[in-house]
Amino acid sequence: MLIVAAVLAIFVYGMIAAMLGTILPDLSKRFHLTPKQNGNIAMAQAIGLMIGSFFGGPLMDIEGTKTGLLLGLGLIALALFGLRAAGGYGAVAALMVLLGTGGGAVVVGANGLPPHIKLEGLSTAGVFNVLNLFFGLGGLVTPLVAARLFQNNSSRLLIFAGSLVLAGFAVNASTQMPAASGQVAFDPSQVGSLLAAPALILLALTLFVYVASEVGVWNWLVRHLIAQGVPEGRALTILSLGFALGLLLGRVAVSPILTGVSPEHVLVASGALMAVTTFLMLQSSSPTTAWVLVFLAGIAMAPVFPTTLAIVSARFTNMAATATGIAVTAGWLGLVISSPLIGGIAGDDPGRLKKALLVLPAASILMMAVCLGL
């Protein structure tokens, strides 16, 4: 049941990560949003993610993982059903803050469970990657269902996703989870001691630049492909059966590798491959070529998030949830900066997204340099 609960929670966050990029074209048409407003909406979600992960970590160290997971899943369900009834730009932005807050708590909580799960033949880092492949599955399902089942109807997609979140809430509520550590209270001195640890600083920087790249693909790839002349339905399929599938299969492939290769070396290799693949995927307007390159970008990115969190968990065992929350919060800060930057460079011209999205390979190169520091 612990495995099932972790899988469902990670799957839910995979859906949420792909949600904004999937519904953004429909929202843009309905409310006449500019790329700059799209960037502000993405920033609103990122602010929520930071709130959820930063405060969720200490909450779970004090009250237990289940408390944080249930709170996060409840907020996500509320936001999804609320987005269906949103009446404009302001309401969408406010609900994205709520969605992000729930998502941040779920990420910290779900990634607190793998150290308590043993899978034969895999290291702890391998378990992190195996369970996080369901993040890729959630990201695959969202745009695929939107395009093929709901014909890009965001209202129906939100009901579908909200119902799955409620199912995940029920499973997590009925699952016995590790008790609270009881070793941390949320006060500045303890958080300050963690922030001063060189390893945590580098790990936080890794997630900072990584999330700028990954979520940049989720939020902007569909709009970029549409600007290159790719039909919306085809662009959504490329996002799901390209990027999300790459994330899913990449985590399956890297899990056994981590039994013989250090997590730090895996991160360096991922950074180099990310830089190459994200640059190349922006150069093609052919749907087939774009799909191949987006898939390879997903493969390259796949190990980074779970492997980084595995290192955090291994090095900061006494305050694992708080340390994870700090590292994950740094990741969402990358989203706060990158999304408005991309939208600002593009301005009111969707055709400039290709230039704006060069932020992604640049962030990948920076990530590789930071991982070399590890």
Q: What amino acid is encoded at 179 in this protein?
A: A
Angle at which helix 304-315 crosses helix 124-148, to 10 degrees, equals: 150
**Does position 139 have pLDDT exceeding 80, yes or no?**
no
Give the pLDDT of residue 184. 46
Q: Tokens at residue 242, please? A: 């390209």
What's the pTM value of the predicted model, to 2 decimals? Answer: 0.76
Give the pLDDT of residue 182. 53
Q: What region does 24 belong to: left with phi over 0, alpha with psi -120 to 50, or beta?
A: alpha
- Which CATH fold would you assign to the domain 2-174+189-373? Growth Hormone; Chain: A; (1.20.1250)
Which has the closest alpha carbon to 89: 54, 137, 41?
Answer: 41
Which has the closest alpha carbon to 339: 252, 238, 218, 253?
Answer: 218
Task: Give the E-state strand segments of the chain in sequence order.
Answer: none
Angle at which helix 304-315 crosses helix 263-281, to 10 degrees, equals: 160
Highest mean pLDDT among 156-165, 171-180, 341-350: 156-165
Tell me the longest C-alpha to C-alpha distance in the chain: 55
Give the pLDDT of residue 270. 96
The tens digit of pLDDT for each residue in 26-56 reads 888 888 888 778 878 888 888 898 899 888 8
Lowest-pLDDT range of 130-134, 139-143, 296-300: 139-143
